[in-house]
Amino acid sequence: MDFSEQIEYQKKTCMITLGHLFDKYQDEEYMLSKLNNYILIQLPKLMENHKISQQEKQARKTELNKEKLAFQSKFLTDNRFYYLTSTETFFHYDGQNYTTYNEDDICHKVFTQITKERKLMAHKEKVKNSIIRKIKKSSLFKTIPESKTIQYTLNMFYPTLFNSKDKAKYFLTILGDNLLKIESHLVHLISPKAKQFLKEITHFSYLYTSINPTSTFKYKYHDQDYSSIRLLDINMSVDTSTNWLFVKHQIINIISVACYYSNRYNKSDNFIESHCDYSLSTHTLFLKNNTSRDIVKLFCSYYIENCTETNINFENSNYNIPWKHMVYLWKSFLEEKNFPNIIFNQNLKVLLCEKFEFDEKLDQFTGVTSKYLPRIATFMEFWNNEIIPNDDEELEIGEINTLFKQWTTNHLKSKSNNNYCNDQQVLDIIRFYSPDTEITEEKYLMNISCKLWDKNNDVVAFLTCYKEASSNHSVHTAYENYVKSQPTLVASKRYFAEKYLLLINSE
């Protein structure tokens, strides 16, 4: 029954009731006069009074609602509160930092303001409840931080952890996607060195959100579909926990900015495709835009020379690449391009066999060579001939490289620069071809020495002479004199100081 039908029904009911009353008192003049008086005089006045009263009440209610809304609006403008249902946590934003806030403290703040203004004293509970309901609809995940908060948060990640602002933004946008539970099918490959850093973010974020914001980050390729994989470079400084101590104290700012970026750029993929420079976009989406055959083809263009295509007569020459060397070249290519290991070795061999001849018995590719092979062969010849086990000695990677260069100059007819390596390349070759070598701090090679340099005796001989000739026993002064006395090979100050202290303590 609609409203017009209801009125028609009420009208008929009233008419029937009046008819019954007239019929009932038709023989009683007094009662009929009263009935006429009620209907014709008192009822219209009563109805008019009710109407006026109702209008006044409605006006007061409207005015009260206006005051409530005005108070609520001003309070929430002056006090920026947010809420997360998942943890039933309130947050306050002061224009620079987000912090947690207690509901009782919010209520106290509301009551204090009402008491100060006096107008809504009789309705303070309703006003407080209305404000709390409003805050609970204001998700922290929908906040819009001020520019200074965004820049401050961004600068925590750049340049210490990411070498560009866009990479830092991209990382935060991924966190935002995960917090908002979008794009969860993606896999973001990142260096294993970031593991503890991401654990820290996960731990503190979970306390406030009950959501894992790093769920899509993986440290190794596990045969996922290339179309779902995104690559993200992070600085090696992430391995040092002091570079991300800010996470514990700034996690709410990080959460807020991350969600803001995800909402603003409409997901991390859209950010990388539409708001980043070409080089970053190309690298990040490399696997999405390439097949395994494309990647192997790129590798070969950089690292492998096909002798059949260059008309080199290789039948009686050593134009071949053993499988072990090919794997090393592949790893070098990945490191140069900053790619994770994205093709398993067996699949790599199959793809390479499609391009080049392979000798199963000798386990090598034939008719191919690489400009990088002489470097590997030369260094391994040096390593196998000159490096010996020594439980009481250690060499630094830089010292080994210096010794290698001296050995190359003295022992090889060819002086090609292709034989030279930087420290990282030396470290990579040792790790790959001599995996049992103990390496600490990416720098010190333990329990080995070199036939070309008796490091220990050099330092001890200098210290013995220096102690007899000088009264200044400062390790700094001693080391300065030691450096001046050495023509080429110089032990590090750390090593020198250890020997110095042993000598002094033995007096």
Q: What is the DSSP string of 11-51?
A: HHHHHHHHHHHHHHTTT-HHHHHHHHHIIIIIHHHHHHHHH
Mean local confidence (pLDDT), 343-367: 94
Average pLDDT over residues 243-261: 97
Give tens-digit pLDDT for 151-198: 999 999 999 999 999 999 999 999 999 999 998 899 999 999 999 999
Q: How much is the average pLDDT of 126-145?
A: 94
Residue 167 identity (one-letter amino acid): K
Please compute Rg for the chain using Cα positions: 40
Q: At residue 453, does pLDDT exceed 60? A: yes
CB 221 within 8 A of CB 340: yes
Answer whether residue 30 is part of any domain: yes
Domain-embedded: residue 242: yes
Q: For residue 443, give both structure tokens.
A: 């720098």
340: preceding bond cis by omega (within 30 degrees): no
Do residue 154 and residue 127 come from a single domain?
A: no
210 within some domain: yes
For residues 86 and 197, state if they share a domain.
Answer: no
Residues 165, 225 within the same domain: yes
Phi, psi (rounded to 5 degrees) for 281: -60, -45
Domain span including residue 329: 292-370
Q: Quick one: 157 and 277 in the same domain?
A: yes
pLDDT in tens, 83-114: 999 999 999 999 999 999 999 999 999 888 88
Residue 385 lies in a domain: no
Is 393 inside any structural domain? no
Task: State percent of the chain over pLDDT 90.
Answer: 61
Give the mean pLDDT of the chain. 90
Q: Are residues 298 and 233 in the same domain?
A: no
Residue 317 has pLDDT above 50, yes or no: no
Residue 455 has which token pair? 């490091």
Q: Are residues 125 and 212 in the same domain?
A: no
Indicate if 154 and 278 belong to the same structural domain.
yes
Say yes or no: 279 and 311 in one domain: no
Q: Which amino acid is at 333?
A: F
- Helix axis angle for 246-265 and 147-157, nearest 10°, is 120
The per-residue pLDDT for 316 is 42
pLDDT digits (tens, 9 = 90+) for 35-69: 889 888 898 988 888 888 888 788 777 777 787 88
- The residue from 284, 315, 333 where one domain ends is 284
Does residue 280 share a domain with residue 362?
Answer: no
The total of structural domains in the chain comes to: 5
Band of residue 314 on the pLDDT scale cut at 50, 70, 90:
very low
Of 13, 28, 60, which residue sits at a domain end? Answer: 60
Verify that 18 and 129 share a domain, yes or no: no
Q: Is residue 432 part of a domain?
A: no
Q: Which of 284, 306, 333 lies at the terminal end of a domain, its last residue?
A: 284
Q: What is the pTM of this model?
A: 0.80
Could you tell me how far CA 367 lies from the centroid of its own chain? Answer: 45
Q: Which stretches of 79-161 are DSSP H helices?
A: 103-117, 124-136, 147-157
| Same domain, residue pair 219 and 274 | yes
Question: Is 24 a domain residue?
Answer: yes
